[in-house]
Chain A
Amino acid sequence: MTARPIQFYFRGAVQTISGQPATRSVLQWLREDACATGTKEGCAEGDCGACTVVVGERDDTAPGGLRLAAVNACIQFLPTLDGKALFTVEDLAKGNELHPVQQAMVDCHGSQCGFCTPGFVMSLWADYETRPAAPTRDQTLSLLSGNLCRCTGYRPIIDAATAARAQPRIELDRAPVRAALDQLAALPALDYHCGDTHFTAPRTVAELAQTYAARPQARLLAGSTDIGLWVTKQMRALPDLVYLGAVAELRTVTREAQHLLIGAGVTLTEAFAALTDAQPAWQELAERFASMPIRNAGTLGGNIANGSPIGDSMPGLIALGASVVLQHGDTTCEIALEDLYLGYQKSALQPGEFVRAVRVPLGASAPTHFRTWKVSKRADQDISAVCAGIAVWVEDGLVQSARVAYGGMAATPSRARRCEAALKGQPWSADTVRSAMLALCADYMPLTDMRASSGYRSTTARNLLWRFWLETGGASVVPTRIAEVLA
């Protein structure tokens, strides 16, 4: 690959950037180099949304061939913008004429100190551009889930999301953006050097496999929603990065009768849409997983490969019997997802090997009942204290098989084998579930930390099993979840 600078569309022209370390964040570049200070830093870890920007990518299925999504600029590395378009709060107003989302924020008194406001405006704008009709209240809550405001209490901002749609529409002219991105697409794949940092963005799986096999010491970078924090918070040096985001093949979802195959580079937003489509029980977890901008950037492959004990996708996937397709050079293999995790931050991946896809069984092999839930201090955008994935296969009133997996209970997401054994072969009944709850006590020895005590984790893990029974076992207890009384 030939070295070249980073090129992306910004403020109506193509920006060419070199001389910046590969781990420089988009936010640092905006504020410190481009003198574009409208985008704010509130946390530098993806949690507050003050830095929200919108990134545009070529996508023939999107209107105007341009897909727009809100992301957190503080944890995106500058080279990941290569071939894309970047929009910030300064792009919206035309002179003194505010964009409808901005005007609605003014009219609804949606800003007080105003520090969070540019971030909210960009989340609203991304929605405005991608959803033709006004968002419902639930959709508004979802699209603003990554933006914190300490002043307003949110009510006026929620109102602004609909008020913006009552004004004459002003849409982004996508044609020139797409044309610029088409030109950038004709450039060779990015191989970027700056000082002792190296960033490579292969475009095919073959190239990726080759590059990574040749540079096994490199760090694979997907959505950087985990990795970004290693740099901004832990101050780790990441001199060698191989980026997955430019590999189109990794970004595909294939649904067949017997399985769902999700490429490792598919964003969490798209992955959860596919999972929910196949198994509506994913819905609640999908909404509570991080926030909209994190789900737009982060990938399912990254969640799985990162292997955090509190990663939220894994318990549900393990319960469903998902497997992962791994690739090293030209060789691929497939293993059960739970077998990927050997210990705390220790995976079965070999140097130079990567996750290519996740396979989720569907159809005949799908369970009779399935639920996946997370429990956390705050409903939205919080890390789980406990996360559960529970699946049972029931036939003639007997549990043929059960797969129960938890996060937050051990050093890795893992199956509750004793609990499963207590269920298997037993009548699907309250008594069976009670004994499974007892058995569960012996499955885990969770830790106490700032998210929850060990006792709370154990209790809640058991109680989720009880709720599973209440919802699927025919007992007529309603409601079983707050969501039902919220509606």
Chain B
Amino acid sequence: MKAPHTVIGASLPHESARLHVSGRAHYTDDLPLPAGALHAAFGSAPLAHGRITAMDLAAVRAAPGVLKVLTAADIPGENNCGPVLHDDPILADGLVQYWGQPAFLVVATSHDAARRAARLAKFEFETLPALLTAEAAMAAESWVLPPVQVNRGDAVSALASARHRLQGAVDLGGQEHFYLEGQIAIATLRDDDTIHLNVSTQHPTEMQHMVAHALGWRAHQVSVECRRMGGGFGGKESQSSQISCAAALAAWHTKRPVKLRLDRDDDMTITGKRHDFHIEWDVGFDAEGQILGLALTLASRCGFSADLSGPINDRTIFHADNCYYLDAVAIRSLRCKTNTVSNTAFRGFGGPQGMFAIETIIDDIARHLGRDPLDVRRINFYGDSAGEQRNLTHYGMKVEDNIAPALVEQLARDCDYAARRLAIARFNAGSPVIKRGLALTPVKFGISFTATMYNQAGAQVAVYSDGTVLLTHGGTEMGQGLYTKIRQIVAHEFGLPVEDVRLSPTDTSRVPNTSATAASSGTDLNGKAAQAAAQAIRARLAAFIAARNAVAATEVVFAGGRVVAGTEDIAFAALAAQAYRARIQLWDAGFYSTPKIHYDPQTMMGRPFYYFAYGAACAEVALDTLTGESRVLRADILHDVGRSLNPAIDIGQIEGGFIQGMGWLTSEELWWKPDGRLMTHAPSTYKIPAVSDCPPVFNVKLFEGENVEDAIHKSKAVGEPPLMLGLSVFFALRDACAAATGGPVALSAPATPEALLRAIGGLETPAEAA
């Protein structure tokens, strides 16, 4: 029986909410600097591809406030910050591989002085030819990692024998993270050849190793701490290492604390983004729209280095099915090497791009057959878990908990899909300028790191003798509410109000060998680890009080800040004090590793995911056929978080994910000049959704149910999956375009006003609206 006062499932505010609203939450840039602290700034090479034949730094060195100017030659250890391959220099060493790549580091007395000086370098280059797009790299067969092919069944013959067949191609843009807090690290040397860093990072352990390698040190000389980030979204998983390494390097050279905070424009120029894709397909289907065979090419622009592009593109393959059974399928995944910034993790980690591909294909099939796309989606769903048919993914994992059909039906009912479909058709028939569109799209997202080894976590919990609890774990807080949920989990184990539980900053010297807070797994992994630690302490307390009351330890109840054993009813704090005096260990560590998962990276077969998280969204949009401008009029979402640990936080993730996904596919356009220079490197030119883009009607509900697997309190991960709910907006826009043209739609993403106007054929000639 669940205790009524449990904090599990309660909509508690974010643990830092009061600090956020009063300006008292400290982010890395808010930490008081030790005396003598210096500031660093990168100096960038203004060229997409070439060799530096001369780099004149005299003016930089002579600039006011400058103490040191460092280049690749000043790195005592390895000049690399690449997480997988060692192909990502901290500072360009002779070869420039993208426009704006850092080539030197200025250390000065102020942030402003460092930035001003960084602009004074004079370069001479030998220019090399630059590949700037995935298509150009495909033509040149330029890869950061070898192509991957995944086949199931015989796609070629399935295509040949299918009654209907369609080919197509689409370009899908990337996305800048635009975490509100830019990248930042502060490095402080400590005695005995050690260094401490405060970094805004999702992956403190990797920062630790990268800094150690850069300095030529060993891991136990470096500690990395992060209390909170002002947003991460994947952008601070691997890419904070260049900033960390540079700050550490500057501190090591100057023997003074050094802060490196990237200005927004530098941040957007230097750090990678969501991979943009060029997608091509050949699909065969029957008269109903059921897919019989599919050949799919997924070519991503990885940029100049591998970074996390391998696992990201793997995940694209794993999500090219979304909720649909693909019987005979051949997927070719190309990891294109280009002379652009190295693309990286971003909420969904390649999954959204795979889902975009299949949803585009389904939408095309529906328009080709003149059917409602939702009907074509339905007919392609995986079989339900009871049936043994149509429930094996193309990578060999059985879909055991397929709630997508039920969830979609519930949403379709709740949002009145069928009636609105008719109403919109009526509206469009009488409205030549403004067209409406509607789409309902599902999401199925695999939860776990595909690299099995990362599915582990640790935590440390301490009960002090006054009954208060302090804990720390390997996960990082970036706004997703991880600390809040872990606090609830631990408070629940001790039967304490959450106020009695505090979290201390994530620190590699307290919990070692942590995984990135990524893959939506933060709560699943760290929650279980923290729970294990708390349970170990609780078991000792239970045994202690049980013994003197002659009851079984399992009968001791921890609730409401009190502990009850037989007839004894004592405050938790009092019991803690007694246990301390009785020399009982009141702290412990917990560890967790995800069960059941395995996967062979060679064959791409196995069970990479512990379970799937599901969701669906229905979006209605309006399109202005004169300007291509569009708005979302209404969004309805039903999302599966298992049994929610904190509905308010989960709904926040869902809404925020939806809007972010919508932004990716609508207004967020990355635009490069022909010379490879990114021109959308600031919020003035790169447009994330603003407040009025929030749909005026926005209904968000949690799907009733629980995780079939033994995840923490039967909940499900929620960080990434909701992003893909934003696909509904794109497909609603496609629907509106179809209403305007009455024919097939070729709409690239993002669906900017210009892309939409082009898709409805309105770009070249004056529109004849009446």
Contact = CB atoms under 8 A, between A and B. Distances in A.
Interface of A: 28, 31-32, 35-45, 47-48, 50, 88-90, 92-93, 98, 102-103, 105-107, 109-118, 121, 137, 140-141, 144-145, 147-158, 233, 235, 375-383, 385, 430, 434, 437-438, 449-453, 455-456, 459-460, 462-464, 466-467, 470, 475, 477-482, 484-486
B629 interface: yes
Contact of A482 (B622, B688, B690): B622
A10 to B, nearest CB: 15
Contacts of B179: 113, 115, 150
A115 B27 contact: yes
Contacts of B233: 150
18 contacts: A37-B23, A37-B29, A41-B29, A43-B683, A47-B682, A106-B18, A109-B11, A111-B479, A151-B231, A156-B652, A158-B691, A378-B687, A450-B685, A452-B754, A455-B764, A467-B433, A478-B431, A485-B434
Contacts of B27: 40, 115
B649 A109 contact: yes
B691 A380 contact: yes
- Chain B, interface size category, equals 35 or more
- Of B27, B265, B623, B626, the most chain A CB neighbours within 10 A belong to B626
A376 B630 CA distance: 11
A115 B753 contact: no
Query: Counting chain B CB atoms within 10 Å of each CB, which of A28, A380, A464 scores highest?
Result: A380
Contacts of B177: 150
Nearest to B755: A456
B478 A113 contact: yes
A441 to B, nearest CB: 8
B766 A463 contact: yes
B23 A118 contact: yes
Given A111-B20, A115-B180, A466-B767, A460 B627 contact: yes
B667 A477 contact: no
Given A106-B17, A111-B14, A113-B181, A477 B753 contact: no
B178 A380 contact: no
Contact of A47 (B667, B684, B766, B769): B684
B660 A482 contact: no
B48 to A, nearest CB: 17
Interface in B346-377: none
Contacts of A486: 622, 631, 633, 696
Contact of A48 (B180, B479, B764): B180
A154 B770 contact: no
Contact of B691 (A41, A93, A141, A453): A141
Given A43-B683, A121-B23, A150-B688, 16 more contacts: A37-B23, A43-B682, A90-B23, A103-B21, A112-B479, A112-B480, A114-B19, A115-B230, A145-B690, A149-B691, A378-B693, A456-B628, A459-B762, A460-B627, A462-B766, A479-B431
Contacts of A157: 691
A196 B233 CA distance: 44
A451 B23 contact: no
A379 B180 contact: no
A375 B682 contact: no
Contacts of A117: 20-21
Given A147-B691, A153-B660, A482 B629 contact: yes
Please name the 9 residue pairs, one residue from A and one from B, whose CB atoms are nearest each other, closest first. Answer: A38-B23, A113-B479, A115-B230, A114-B20, A153-B659, A112-B479, A89-B23, A47-B683, A450-B671
A467 B18 contact: no
Residue from A43, A156, A451, A464 whose CB has the most chain B CB atoms within 10 Å: A43
A69 to B, nearest CB: 18
Contacts of A451: 685
Nearest to A438: B766
A452 B692 CA distance: 22
Contacts of A385: 753-754
B626 A88 contact: no
A102 to B, nearest CB: 4
B458 interface: no
Contact of A434 (B690, B763, B766): B766
B677 to A, nearest CB: 10
A157 B659 CA distance: 14
Contacts of A452: 753-754
Contacts of A158: 691, 694
Interface in B726-765: 752-754, 757, 762-764
A235 B683 contact: no
Contacts of A140: 691
Most chain A beta-carbon neighbours within 10 Å: one of B434, B631, B649: B434
A21 to B, nearest CB: 9
Given A42-B180, A113-B180, A151 B683 contact: no
B13 interface: yes
Nearest to A437: B766
Nearest to B648: A109
B683 A148 contact: yes
A44 B263 contact: yes
Interface string B198-214: 00000000000000000
A109 B652 contact: yes
B692 A380 contact: yes
Nearest to A485: B622
B512 interface: no
B180 A150 contact: yes
B337 interface: no
A229 B172 CA distance: 32
B763 A455 contact: yes
Interface string B668-699: 01010000000110111101111111101010
Contacts of A45: 264, 682-684
A155 B698 contact: yes
A109 B13 contact: yes
Contacts of B682: 43, 45, 47, 233
A226 to B, nearest CB: 12
Contact of B766 (A37, A41, A379, A466): A466
Contact of A450 (B119, B680, B688, B689): B680
A219 B655 CA distance: 46
Nearest to B17: A106
B691 A152 contact: no
Nearest to B653: A112
Nearest to A104: B21
Contact of A477 (B115, B432, B627, B628): B432
A48 B683 contact: yes
Contacts of B627: 375, 460, 463-464
Given A105-B21, A114-B230, A470-B770, A375 B753 contact: yes
Nearest to B750: A377
Given A44-B263, A111-B17, A121-B21, A377 B659 contact: no
B674 to A, nearest CB: 10
A377 B668 CA distance: 8
B567 interface: no
A6 B631 CA distance: 46
A44 B262 CA distance: 11
A467 B627 CA distance: 10
B753 A377 contact: yes
A219 to B, nearest CB: 19
A37 B754 contact: no
B24 interface: yes
B23 A148 contact: no
A235 B659 contact: no
